[in-house]
Amino acid sequence: MARVRVVSVTSGKGGVGKSHLAANLSTLFAREGQRVLVIDADGGLSNVDVLLGVRPLLNLGDLLDGAPLEEVLCQVGPRLSLLAGGQGERRLAQLDDATRLALTSAWEQLLPRFDAVVVDVGSGVGDDVLFFASAGEVSLLVVTDEPTSIADAVVLIKALGAKASVREVDVVVNCVRTSRTAQAIFAKLQQSASFCGVRLRLVANIPDDQNIRRAAMAGRPLVELAPTSPASRAYERLAQTLLASPPRAPTGGLWFNEALLSSGS
């Protein structure tokens, strides 16, 4: 099977910009000619569909219940598909064996169809976050300049290291004014999450950009609505960095491989 680039987007605290990042990155990957799937795996309130301006009929919950893939995937653009989240899909937050199996077999059906998969994982340290964050080769963690966001990010990094064998996390600092602020936030994270065996890298800082609100209202990704706006430029740089990066092994492995093993593949 050709290599599929899987990028997961997580955060400790909610409301820090994950869904906008996932929507814009997937749009940019598709623009670069990749066949892209964006998965809204936020088990709470999923809304990537709103940001992309589509109204999917079925969602991840239906897929787990056995609906055919062709019916569940929503076409957003010529190369961009969405697997929408089920509103309040609580099954994801605590994965029992049956759900884990269904998720894993859905995952295996999905991967061969795409060049890149972007997963909006949601926040917290639930099973779903650990599952999806360790399935990707790139685990993006979004953090903002708020003490709670930083503190929760540290908890998540530790959980990813201890429970999901994730060894590398790529940090995106969102809503910052200067790169110096981003560096300072990253330094705090590094200090607090030292000794937990997870290597952190600062891969992007996305400026505070009021156009993002406008994009959400219009149901269009910022990179389409305002391609030259400051945050669009930053999304673009990150997309290029990710596309240019050499192949990596999945960030975690253990958690996800266990699921694959128990699915018998």
Ligand X SMILES: Nc1ncnc2c1ncn2[C@@H]1O[C@H](COP(=O)(O)OP(=O)(O)OP(=O)(O)O)[C@@H](O)[C@H]1O
3-state SS, residue 109? helix
Interacting partner of 204 out of ligand X, Mg ion, none (Cβ under 5 to 8 A depending on kind): none
Q: Which residues contact 26 (CB under 8 A, 6 or more apart)?
A: 36, 37, 38, 80, 116, 118
Instruction: Output 16 or 259, the one with its CB closest to Mg ion.
Output: 16
Instruction: Output 124 or 252, the one with its CB closest to ligand X.
Output: 124
Residue with nearest beta carbon to ligand X: 14
Instruction: Output 130 or 175, the one with its CB closest to ligand X.
Output: 175
Q: Which residue has the tokens 């990253």?
A: 186
CB of 229 to ligand X, least distance (A): 10
Q: Which of 8, 221, 14 is nearest to 107 (CA)?
A: 8
Residue 19 interacts with Mg ion (CB under 5 A): yes or no = yes
Q: How many residues bind Mg ion (CB under 5 A)?
A: 2
Interacting partner of 115 out of Mg ion, ligand X, none (Cβ under 5 to 8 A depending on kind): none
Residue with nearest beta carbon to Mg ion: 19
Interacting partner of 175 out of Mg ion, ligand X, none (Cβ under 5 to 8 A depending on kind): ligand X
Q: Which residues contact 40 (CB under 8 A, 6 or more apart)?
A: 19, 22, 46, 47, 48, 49, 59, 60, 82, 83, 84, 85, 120
Hey, what amino acid is at 82?
L
Instruction: Output 44 or 161, the one with its CB closest to Mg ion.
Output: 44
Task: Give CA separation, 205 vs 5, 161, 199, 236, in Å.
Answer: 21, 23, 18, 11
CB of 131 to ligand X, least distance (A): 17
CB of 96 to ligand X, least distance (A): 23
CB of 178 to ligand X, least distance (A): 14
- Separation of alpha carbons 235 and 164, rounded Å: 27
Handedness of CA 21, 23, 28, 33 (dihedral sign): positive
**Which residues make up the interface to ligand X (CB under 6 A)?**
11, 14-20, 42, 123, 174-175, 206, 208-209, 212-213, 216, 231
CB of 246 to ligand X, least distance (A): 28
CB of 39 to ligand X, least distance (A): 13
* Residue pair 136/22 in contact by the 8 Å Cβ criterion: no
Name 143's bridge partners: 173
Residues near Mg ion (CB under 5 A) are 18-19
